[in-house]
Chains A and B, each alone.
Chain A
Amino acid sequence: MKNYLYVFVIFCSSIIYAQDCNSILIGEIVDFHDNSTLNGATINVTGKNLSTVSKENGKFTFKNLCDGVLELEISHPECTTKFITVTINGDTFSEIRLEHHLEELTEVKVIGDVPKSTNSAQENILSVKDIERNSGNSLGDALKKIVGVSTLNTGGNIVKPVIQGLNGSRILILNNNVRMQDMEWGEEHAPNVDVNANQNISVIKGAAAIEYGGDAIGGVIVLEPLPVVRTDSLFGKTQLNLSSNGRGGNITSSLTKSYKSGLYIKAQGSYKKLGDLEAPDYILSNTGINESGLSLNVGKRDFEQGWEGYYSYFNSEIGILRASHIGNVDDLINAINSNIPSVINDFTYDITQPYQEVTHHLGKLSYYRRFEGFGKWTTQYDFQQNRRFEYDIRVGDDADKASLDLRLTTHSVLTNIKFDAKEGFDLKVGALGRYQTNFANPDTGVRRLIPDYDKYDFGLFAIGNYELNSDWTIDVGARYDFSRIDAKKFYKVSRWEERGYDVDFADIIIEDLGTQLLTNPVFDYHNFSGTAGFHYQINEKDHLRFNYAFSQRAPNPSELFSDGLHHSAARIELGDLRITSETSSKLSASLERNTNKWGYSVAPFLNSIKDFILVEPTGVEYTIRGAFPVWSYRQTDAVLLGIDAFLYSNWTSKIRTDHKFAWVRGTDTETDTPLINIPAANFTNSITYTNPKWNNFLISLESQYVFEQTRYPDNIEVFSPEQQENVILDINTPPDAYHLLSLNTEASFTLKNKNDLTVGLSASNLLNTNYRDYLNRQRYFVDDMGRNISLRLIFNY
């Protein structure tokens, strides 16, 4: 059984035409790879009391149908249930792809030929197996399985996804169709999502999916629950993971009740606890994590209309490496020059300062209605609240006070209409309204790094795809976004003058308080985005995709307003009010082959970004407490050029190898220097042995080689008060290349139902290698995580 099924649906309208309901629909369900037919698939016509099962030859038939649009629900024991709409209108032939999630152990390996948000962009999906294997990790760790996705870490638990070299606000995370508003602007702000809450995770590289937002210059991560089958059923899944590194684990459980009427209710919860993580040679003191998540889904889906209510809660308390808390630039110089961390304590589960605690609430209500001969109207309201506390090491009366306390509240209303009545041509138009308010609590007693602000967004988009013929599909889209940010911010008079704001922004001062100024910056941004591309199916095995995406992103609050000492990072971060939107033009292409024996995907891209916003170390500022490194935001023109390549081969029915390579080169074209924080090239190879006869036994060995990043900006020279001379602050030099091995094995057993228990054992960093990664902000202080052996038990019921 392979990844995809093709459903060939043949429409044979009867001789008697017009409004007589005598049309016949004949469909055939075929395996994508070996063209074998699939019997036993259940096909329901939603909203009508029609149901059938595909026969031995994979065929099914519905008679006496009226012309018009029908929605089919196709479920198969080994597939994810799929809803497709078909138009019955004369003799028609249409070919629809289904994603095939397997219950059996054969890997679901995907080359991007999966449920698509676009036809022409580079898209990849994460298999349910990969999600299960990363159940105890973060979303970023799980996404790393996808070629071209890497991570920006602050230690082992704060993991931000990086797509083709870009991260943060350039990546849009869509949680059950709600755009996450979780302060993604900070380098030490990880996405506030539980990787276990959604089992359908895909990545769209680049801004082609403009339906979701016009500013996703890096890409879009789509998290969705698996669709619920319309039958009377109750099922659940519980997974337990135990890890040696961190001496803890997590448990996640979900329960789904569905009814034939289309009503469903689903609840899911997770809890995770890890103590201090360990590098090969020492404990990484204060790197524990407590995390809990909860989600609830209630809805009803019918052909004509449907609704859904969704609520999710996520809370995480994450320790920040104690040794990364430094006083001033001399401490940083000493830390960089020393091979061992300044603080190593005994292992503990306790999390103390510095640490962060983040809570995210997300609520959504959505409704859709289908109008015959017209299309489908969908509307959605969502609410999010993100509360972030950052606790630093403070002394005296303030010891237990947070240094940063932000509350970000967002309301969004979305609506769209999809015109799909015409076969082979879909048009979707939509609008978005959003209000966001940030409150920075003054009780911290620390000057606000991010100010209070209100933000208003309004967007309009239209996207279409047109099937020229069975081989060519064309995507086009356009979008306009208006965004206004209205902030109230205090500036120190000295900073105000140093930045030259007294010349450029004198009119936004609303109150002069002596040493500080209260200002009211209000900025409007008008951003346009557009995309065009094609998908050419060369033959059954080969595909070619090409996409051009133009996108603009307004600066985020951190880029505009950051001002002051970021205590936990011991660095002064300076935004700039003059920063404007950045504009990206990205060309991407992919050539793919997918056969039973082997397959590949080669996907080059070129992303040219005008007014690219970046933050980098620029010098030091002196205070009575010593000197602190200054990280400043600036804009420049940049080009990112790269390639993601993937190859697999089934040597026998039991042995398979996978090979992945990703490379990206980032250049500041104004100064012709390398960009900061561009992931190093990496090359991953794995060999997997599976034997379905031995309880679906699987064992795989993976080798990951990460090259040394040889292109990086120059280090900066600073005056060291301690040494009383100028020294080079070696803050940009990347660490050496490294090679890691990991092992994974699993098998499934039958307790009550077939293969309802899966047991897996994995080891990452098998050889306990000492290494540091360029994109880990704690690389100055400590080695990365050592060996981790983890056991997982997955029980379906």
Chain B
Amino acid sequence: MKTSTTMKRNKTLKTVLALSLMATVMTSCSSDDDTPEIINEEEIITTLTVTLTSANGTATLQSQDLDGDGPNAPVITADNLTANTTYTGSIELLNETESPAEDITEEVEEEADEHQFFFSLNGSLTDVTYSDEDGDGNPIGLEFELTTGDAGSGSITITLRHEPTKPNDGTLADAGGETDIAQTFTVVVE
């Protein structure tokens, strides 16, 4: 009788020991005590600069969002444009979270078949045409021509889609893909 109680007690002790051992081993295995690694999101576009050149001079539209998904809204600036003028436009994309700033424009050029800019106009901005094309002869939009109408106010929305359907009918809905940029500039045409 005594032996059996002792045996039982031993058994219990063993169970408890086994349990605590297991707990210790598992704890030490899964411990991630060290400082976590910082994540700097790659391929971020912080700055979109549109340079519009005409015989009368140069105008710039810019959207700069240095904190990315952070709370600060992009800082948008737009120069005034001249009425009834055709501008030659070019787009530059930068990642200014890095120093020196990384030029994302080159990446878009290299992967031209996977990118396309879309332009949507309003008010005194009347026409836009693509001036560049990718290897398959489809538009990219890094280079384009923009025409202004009579004096007044107008707006241009520039959308960059990554991996859109190419060719497409020129609408965002048909193009699909992921939005890398969607910015609207309100401009004064004088």
Binding site for B on A (CB under 8 A): 305, 307, 327-328, 330, 342, 365, 367, 369, 379, 381, 383, 385, 393-396, 409, 411, 413, 435, 437, 439-440, 442, 444-448, 451-452, 454, 488, 490, 492-495, 498, 511, 513, 515-516, 518, 564-565, 572, 621-626, 628, 721-722, 724
Contacts and interface: CB of A to CB of B under 8 A. Distances in A.
A625 B180 CA distance: 6
Given A396-B43, A488-B35, A622 B26 contact: no
Contact of B38 (A409, A490, A625): A490
Interface of B: 8, 12, 15-16, 19, 22-23, 26-27, 30-33, 35-43, 45-48, 63, 65-74, 97, 111, 114, 122, 155, 157, 162-163, 173, 177-184, 186
Given A307-B15, A490-B38, A516-B38, A724 B155 contact: yes
Contacts of B22: 365, 381, 383
B182 A721 contact: yes
Given A381-B19, A413-B23, A625-B181, A494 B39 contact: no
A624 B67 contact: no
Given A411-B23, A492-B70, A624-B45, A437 B32 contact: yes
Contact of B39 (A328, A393, A442): A442
A626 B179 contact: yes
B42 A495 contact: no
Contacts of A565: 69
Contacts of B186: 724
Contacts of B45: 624
Contact of A367 (B15, B26, B111): B15
A490 B36 contact: yes
Contacts of B36: 440, 442, 448, 451-452, 488, 490, 518
B23 A381 contact: yes
B178 A724 contact: no
A444 to B, nearest CB: 8
Given A330-B182, A625-B182, A724-B186, 11 more contacts: A327-B182, A367-B12, A409-B30, A411-B26, A442-B39, A445-B39, A488-B35, A488-B36, A498-B71, A518-B38, A624-B65
Contacts of B162: 395-396
Given A395-B163, A724-B186, A446 B39 contact: yes
Contacts of A411: 23, 26-27
24 contacts: A305-B12, A327-B182, A330-B182, A367-B12, A385-B30, A393-B178, A409-B26, A437-B31, A439-B32, A451-B36, A452-B32, A452-B36, A454-B33, A490-B39, A492-B70, A493-B67, A494-B67, A494-B71, A495-B71, A518-B38, A565-B69, A624-B48, A624-B182, A721-B182
> Which 10 residue pairs spanning A and B have beta carbons closest together?
A626-B182, A622-B73, A498-B71, A494-B67, A327-B179, A494-B70, A442-B37, A409-B30, A624-B65, A492-B70
A788 B189 CA distance: 59
A445 B42 contact: yes
A435 B131 CA distance: 62
A435 B67 contact: no
Indicate the member of A385, A393, A454, A494 with the most B CB atoms within 10 Å.
A494
A334 to B, nearest CB: 9
A367 B67 CA distance: 55
A365 B30 CA distance: 19
Contact of B69 (A330, A440, A572): A572
Nearest to A327: B179
B15 to A, nearest CB: 6
Contact of B30 (A413, A437, A622): A437
Contact of B46 (A385, A493, A498, A624): A624
Given A395-B162, A445-B39, A490-B39, A621 B71 contact: yes
Contacts of B27: 411, 435
Nearest to A307: B15
Indicate the member of B69, B157, B180 with the most A CB atoms within 10 Å.
B69
Contacts of A488: 35-36
Given A439-B32, A498-B71, A724 B184 contact: yes
Contacts of A626: 179, 182
A577 to B, nearest CB: 15
Given A395-B162, A492-B67, A447 B41 contact: yes
A385 B29 CA distance: 12
Contact of A724 (B74, B122, B177): B122
A448 B69 contact: no
Contacts of B16: 379
Nearest to B33: A454
Contact of B74 (A394, A451, A622): A622
A722 B183 CA distance: 9
Contacts of B48: 624
A623 B32 CA distance: 33
Indicate the member of A395, A447, A498 with the most B CB atoms within 10 Å.
A395
Contacts of A393: 178
A187 to B, nearest CB: 20
Nearest to B107: A396
A439 to B, nearest CB: 5
Contacts of B63: 624
Contacts of B184: 721-722, 724
Indicate the member of A518, A623, A721 with the most B CB atoms within 10 Å.
A623
A399 to B, nearest CB: 9
A411 B45 CA distance: 43
A103 B26 CA distance: 43
A681 B157 CA distance: 45
Nearest to A436: B30
Given A411-B27, A625-B181, A515 B155 contact: no
Nearest to A408: B30
Nearest to B122: A724
Contacts of B157: 721-722
A40 to B, nearest CB: 36
A68 to B, nearest CB: 18
Contacts of B8: 305
Nearest to B22: A381
A445 B41 contact: yes
